């Protein structure tokens, strides 16, 4: 067992023991390999570097209360990777290969799986990249699919608390009819700088509106959006939003609690009507929002709209209840009635 302070884990890149890899050349998948070499050798013309032919997934593995090891909803990640790969014109591993490689990654790096009782898990990061050197703008016939992992705690560090967010109107996340609904690397590139500016101003998250008209809420830079209004769970329906597996899970949990789920266009003015608002995703899990400022220009001081939900230290009770249930299912504290936990056998 590694000498890791499980309580102090944040959400960071990590060099564990083993990477799992498979190449697809001319449409034919090569055998899966395991390596302890954490460096890639790529041709300088590899299209992933010049043209962002790169996509990825993110899913978590939990050491459960009874000692079993569970991967949370990997079938959904396998399906989403295929969808994203199709968008980029890349071959994707089928579900059996995806599962096999995830399980191998868990088993080979088991000493990095946080024990039960630490609010920590193992994050799996499957990555699919075009390795073919090329100048032409057509799909590559050589790709590398690799799965790496990291022991992780909370994405923004510390215990659950509410965070401030900003809507930066001079930055859009995704073009209309563009790549917003797919987990392509390029979607994230444009958020690094505004995240830094927002963090320097004391905001934790960026919330993006639909690019075409700036009338409706799309999602956060790292995660989906939902709002709570009485017994309603409201979340945007938009082609430019990544279909979040956490959001899908929370919608079911909300229904299990007797709440009504509304998936529809959410005008930003409705931000004043929600009792609670949160970000949700694999990395952030569920991040309640204390307040949202809308800024015409992120770099400038003017705030055109301000929405307030709670103090930074507080958490809306419905959001806390949703959070507790999803965590309890993942760690096996309650029965997994929907069959979301894929148990890794032979550990």
Q: Active-site residues: which are they? A: 183
153 and 11 Cβ atoms separated by less than 8 Å: yes
CA–CA dist 72, 341 (Å, integer): 5
**In the structure encoding, which two tokens stand for residue 165, read together?**
């967010």
* Interaction residues for ligand COI, span 52-91 (CB under 6 A): 58
Residue nearest to ligand COI (CB): 58
CB atoms within 10 A of CB 346: 6
Please state the closest distance from residue 114 (CB atom) to ligand PLP, in A.
Answer: 19
Q: Which does 21 bind (CB under 5 to 8 A by kind): ligand PLP, ligand COI, none?
A: none
* Interaction residues for ligand PLP, span 51-80 (CB under 6 A): 58
Residue closer to ligand COI by CB (options 261, 283) is 283
Alpha-carbon torsion angle 326, 108, 113, 15, nearest 10? -110
Region label for 342, one of left (φ > 0), alpha (ψ between -120 and 50) or beta (otherwise): beta
Please state the closest distance from residue 17 (CB atom) to ligand PLP, in A.
Answer: 25
Cα 221 to Cα 141, 177, 190, distances in angstroms: 31, 18, 10
Can you tell me which of 281, 315, 330, 332 binds ligand COI, judged by CB under 6 A?
Answer: 281
CB atoms within 10 A of CB 201: 14
Spatial CA neighbour of 174 closest among 137, 220, 232, 139? 220
**In the structure encoding, which two tokens stand for residue 110, read together?**
């088991």
Q: Tell me which stretch binds ligand COI (CB under 6 A): 23-31, 197-205, 276-284, 336-344.
A: 276-284
Residue closer to ligand PLP by CB (options 282, 290) is 282
Can you tell me which of 75, 283, 320, 333 binds ligand COI, judged by CB under 6 A?
Answer: 283
* Interaction residues for ligand PLP, span 161-180 (CB under 6 A): none
Dihedral sign computed on CA atoms, order 243, 252, 312, 6:
negative
183 and 311 Cβ atoms separated by less than 8 Å: no
Q: Tell me which stretch binds ligand PLP (CB under 6 A): 112-120, 156-164, 208-216, 237-245.
A: 237-245
* Interaction residues for ligand COI, span 213-232 (CB under 6 A): 222
224 binds ligand PLP (CB under 6 A): yes
Can you tell me which of 247, 282, 290, 318 binds ligand COI, judged by CB under 6 A?
Answer: 282
242 binds ligand PLP (CB under 6 A): yes
235 binds ligand PLP (CB under 6 A): no
* Interaction residues for ligand PLP, span 252-291 (CB under 6 A): 281-282
CA–CA dist 197, 98 (Å, integer): 37
Q: Tell me which stretch binds ligand COI (CB under 6 A): 2-10, 14-22, 225-233, 278-286.
A: 278-286
Q: Which does 224 bind (CB under 5 to 8 A by kind): ligand PLP, ligand COI, none?
A: ligand PLP
165 and 268 Cβ atoms separated by less than 8 Å: no
**In the structure encoding, which two tokens stand for residue 294, read together?**
């809308």
CA–CA dist 209, 216 (Å, integer): 5
Residue closer to ligand PLP by CB (options 20, 279) is 279
Please state the closest distance from residue 342 (CB atom) to ligand COI, in A.
Answer: 17
83 and 182 Cβ atoms separated by less than 8 Å: yes
Residue closer to ligand PLP by CB (options 108, 228) is 228
Residue written as token pair 């230290």: 313
Using only the alpha carbons of the chain, give its radius of gyration.
20
Which residues make up the interface to ligand PLP (CB under 6 A)?
58, 219, 222-224, 242, 244-247, 281-282
Which residues make up the interface to ligand COI (CB under 6 A)?
58, 222, 281-283
């Amino acid at each position: 067992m590694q000498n890791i302070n499980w309580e102090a884990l944040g959400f960071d890149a990590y060099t564990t023991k083993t990477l799992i890899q498979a190449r697809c050349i001319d449409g034919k998948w090569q055998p899966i390999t395991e390596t302890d070499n954490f460096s890639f050798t790529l041709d300088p013309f590899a299209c992933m570097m010049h043209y962002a032919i790169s996509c990825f997934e993110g899913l978590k593995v939990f050491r459960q209360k009874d000692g079993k090891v569970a991967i949370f909803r990997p079938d959904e990640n396998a399906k989403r990777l295929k969808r994203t790969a199709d968008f980029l014109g890349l071959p994707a591993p089928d579900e059996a290969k995806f599962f096999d490689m995830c399980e191998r990654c868990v088993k080979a790096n088991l000493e990095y799986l946080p024990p039960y009782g630490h609010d920590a898990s193992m994050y799996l990061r499957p990555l699919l990249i075009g390795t073919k050197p090329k100048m032409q703008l057509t799909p590559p016939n050589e790709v590398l699919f690799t799965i790496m992992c990291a022991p992780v705690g909370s994405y923004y560090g510390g215990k659950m608390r509410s965070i401030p967010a900003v809507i930066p109107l001079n930055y859009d996340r995704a073009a209309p009819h563009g790549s917003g609904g797919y987990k392509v690397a390029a979607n994230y590139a444009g958020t690094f700088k505004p995240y830094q500016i927002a963090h320097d101003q004391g905001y934790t998250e960026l919330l993006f509106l639909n690019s075409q008209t700036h009338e409706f809420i799309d999602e956060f830079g790292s995660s989906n959006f939902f709002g709570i209004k009485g017994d309603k769970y409201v979340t945007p329906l938009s082609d430019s939003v990544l279909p979040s597996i956490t959001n899908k899970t929370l919608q079911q949990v909300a229904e299990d609690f007797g709440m009504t789920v509304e998936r529809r266009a959410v005008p930003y003015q409705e931000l004043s009507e929600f009792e609670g608002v949160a970000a949700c995703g694999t990395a952030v899990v569920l991040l309640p929002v204390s307040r949202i400022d809308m800024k015409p220009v992120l770099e400038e001081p003017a705030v055109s709209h301000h929405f307030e939900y709670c103090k930074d230290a507080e958490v809306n009770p419905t959001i806390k209840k949703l959070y507790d249930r999803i965590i309890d299912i993942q760690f096996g504290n309650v029965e997994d009635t929907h069959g979301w936990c894929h148990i890794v056998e032979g550990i």
